Copies of this chain bind each other. A is one copy, B any other.
Amino acid sequence: MTRHAGARLLLVVAVLSAAAIAAEGVEAAVVVDDAHLLPRPLVIELPTTAAAEAEKGEVVPAEVRCASWRLAGEANNLAPWKSLPEECAGYVREYLTGVAYRSDLEVVAREASAYARTARVGDDGRDAWVFDVDETLLSNLPYYADHGYGLELFDHREFDKWVERGEAPAIPSSLKLYNEVRDLGFKTFLLTGRSEGHHGVTVDNLKKQGFHDWDKLILRAPADRKKTATIYKSEKRKEMEEEGYRILGNSGDQWSDLLGFSTSARSFKLPNPMYYIP
């Protein structure tokens, strides 16, 4: 090893160690704290390093911790959570109302579009793309702006009132993708956790926002109400397969839109740091 590489290696170890301590401040929203059950031996000299780093003022800022929390959610690393970590309320609001959220949505749509164009759509009309609705085709940001962007616990009644207004705006990058996959010959299946009672208002809202000519809009029947979204949506995808459809693409803002069984050939996870649906 050269001296240069050696110095860098030490630096890497030092920075990694410091962050291990500094990031202790991060709290997921739902964490069972039973750390006292474990001796947790300190195998490496973390305290010394952390103290040294702290002297240099190198503490992990809340914004970095919250970015890590958000990333962990998008990579499906988080346990189910009911509301944002409190310290991340400001961070999430800034993210959603700034340019980053829109950029994140757009990059996912572009990847989906590039894939859709290379996927070979057969002549038999059996290739399908599944779209979730909320936070995938339609945005509920105006609602969440009035409810702490996910800091408040989810309130079914309040949210239903918002849904019934039928005024959720389209996510433009999703609308563009939707039209692209339709033009490419995919069947488009909209699969939503909204209940069947919201069929009419959902159709109106979608049409008003430029979504037209979908092949199926599947809402949650009373019998599906107690199922997790993962199971409910997997069962519906399975029915599509049983009807002879090949699900080549699936877009959703929740991992429960994408995982389970009868999964799509390729799935696209849209960002959503506001809520978690199991």
Residues of A within 8 A of B (CB): 1, 5, 8-9, 12-13, 15-20, 22-24, 26, 28, 31-32, 34-35, 37-41, 43-44, 46, 58, 60-61, 64-65, 67-69, 71-72, 74-79, 97, 99-100, 102-108, 110-112, 114-115, 117-118, 139, 141-142, 145-146, 165, 167, 169-173, 175-176, 179-180, 183-184, 210, 267-269, 271
Contacts and interface: CB of A to CB of B under 8 A. Distances in A.
Given A72-B111, A183-B39, A19 B268 contact: no
A114 B46 contact: no
A228 B253 CA distance: 28
Given A19-B172, A77-B112, 4 more contacts: A19-B173, A23-B102, A71-B74, A72-B104
A173 to B, nearest CB: 5
A31 B19 CA distance: 35
A8 B103 CA distance: 19
Contact of A103 (B1, B22, B139, B267): B22
Given A105-B19, A169-B9, A179 B43 contact: yes
